């Protein structure tokens, strides 16, 4: 398909696509980035671009909305009272301002750990319940994340750094990103520190290029190769595994630190949610 035809597609389908916080569909947000930046990473998969208009993550998003509004758990309440940082139940723009410090928990939390916190405190789930144990795949957690995150589609990443712990987390993430370790002596920057690096056919995103990096951190996304919707924590664990370093614990401070740093690196760029990945 020609570049012009590709450009026209999102315009035609924007009306039908489930909207996030802005009127723009995720593919329109991405096409605007492509138009404004010369990046082999952003344009590497024409097929993924074509798939965005009716990608499977929209199913997860719709199911997530139902789960979000349904009274669930031992306490039989919905998640509508959960505060994701902008007040109870306010989802629009909440995700692009995470990770953030939550006074009730006394911690900096990313979307996934905050969601689990509310499922425990509001709904009464415990770590033993399958709703919390099943982290990845076609799970409640992934569906809920996709719904919540999509309410920030098109909005600029703007994670707060006012609280000392927010800054400490971001700075710890920066250390992690550049520190070489493990049997291969890799750091994150080994693969994501320059433009146009490849592993086999994949062009890797450069964390120093905010236009590339916003696509890189736009999760949840449908991963074609996995035939599944994946979230940020999954991506972190995959890359730590690729570095042959010790397995990172889901929702640990180390994982949130990485996400704090990577979100800060995309500051000001629009989120593309849900995205489609290789």
User: Active-site residues: which are they?
Assistant: 239
Site for ligand HEC in 79-138 (CB under 6 A): none
Tell me if 205 contacts ligand HEC by CB under 6 A: yes
* Closest by Cα among 163, 167, 164 to 261: 167
Nearer to ligand HEC, 120 or 135 (CB): 135
Other CB atoms within 10 A of residue 83 CB: 17
Give the C-alpha separation, 192 to 234, whole Å: 17
Q: How far is CA 57 from the centre of its chain?
A: 12
Give the C-alpha separation, 134 to 118, whole Å: 16
Tell me if 157 contacts ligand HEC by CB under 6 A: no
Tell me if 276 contacts ligand HEC by CB under 6 A: no
Give the C-alpha separation, 94 to 78, whole Å: 18
For residue 87, give every residue at least 6 positions away whose Cβ sits within 8 Å of its Cβ, in sequence order, or none: none
Contact range with ligand HEC by CB under 6 A, out of 28-36, 69-77, 135-143, 191-199 = 191-199
Tell me if 183 contacts ligand HEC by CB under 6 A: no
For residue 27, give every residue at least 6 positions away whose Cβ sits within 8 Å of its Cβ, in sequence order, or none: 9, 10, 13, 17, 49, 52, 53
Tell me if 190 contacts ligand HEC by CB under 6 A: yes
Binding ligand HEC by CB under 6 A: which of 202, 208, 249, 252?
202
Binding ligand HEC by CB under 6 A: which of 119, 169, 243, 266?
243
Nearer to ligand HEC, 11 or 194 (CB): 194
Residue with tokens 């994946």: 230
Tell me if 191 contacts ligand HEC by CB under 6 A: yes
Nearer to ligand HEC, 72 or 277 (CB): 277
- For 188: left if phi > 0, alpha if psi spans -120 to 50, otherwise beta; the answer is alpha
Nearer to ligand HEC, 267 or 278 (CB): 278
Closest residue to ligand HEC in the complex (CB): 188
Give the C-alpha separation, 30 to 72, whole Å: 35
Binding ligand HEC by CB under 6 A: which of 258, 266, 272, 273?
258
Q: Is the peptide bond before 274 cis (omega within 30 degrees of 0)?
A: yes
Tell me if 34 contacts ligand HEC by CB under 6 A: no
Binding ligand HEC by CB under 6 A: which of 216, 256, 266, 272?
216
Binding ligand HEC by CB under 6 A: which of 217, 257, 266, 271?
217
Contact 99, 259 (CB under 8 A): yes
Return residues touching ligand HEC (CB under 6 A).
177, 186, 188, 190-192, 199, 202, 204-205, 216-217, 235, 239-240, 242-243, 258, 262, 277-278
């Amino acid at each position: 398909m020609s570049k012009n035809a590709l450009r026209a597609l999102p315009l035609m389908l924007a009306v039908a696509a489930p909207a996030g916080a802005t009127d723009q569909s995720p593919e329109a947000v991405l096409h605007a980035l492509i138009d404004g930046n010369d990046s082999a990473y952003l344009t590497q998969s024409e097929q993924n671009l074509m798939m965005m208009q009716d990608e499977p993550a929209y199913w997860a998003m719709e199911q997530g909305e139902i789960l979000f509004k349904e009274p669930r758990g031992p306490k039989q309440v919905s998640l509508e009272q959960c505060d994701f940082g902008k007040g109870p139940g306010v989802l629009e723009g909440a995700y692009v301002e995470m990770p953030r410090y939550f006074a009730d928990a006394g911690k900096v939390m990313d979307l996934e750990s905050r969601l689990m916190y509310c499922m425990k405190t509001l709904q009464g789930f415990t770590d033993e319940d399958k709703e919390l144990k099943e982290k990845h795949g076609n799970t409640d957690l992934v569906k809920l994340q996709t719904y919540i995150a999509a309410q920030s589609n098109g909005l600029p990443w703007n994670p707060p750094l006012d609280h000392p712990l927010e800054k400490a987390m971001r700075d710890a993430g920066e250390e992690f990103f550049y520190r070489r370790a493990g049997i291969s002596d890799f750091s994150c920057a080994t693969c994501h520190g320059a433009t146009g690096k490849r592993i086999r056919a994949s062009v890797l995103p450069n964390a120093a290029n905010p236009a590339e990096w916003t696509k890189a951190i736009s999760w949840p996304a449908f991963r074609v190769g996995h035939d599944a919707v994946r979230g940020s924590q999954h991506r972190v664990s995959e890359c730590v595994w690729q570095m042959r370093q010790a397995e990172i614990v889901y929702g640990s401070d180390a994982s949130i630190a990485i996400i704090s740093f990577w979100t800060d690196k995309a500051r000001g760029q629009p989120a593309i949610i849900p995205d489609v990945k290789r």
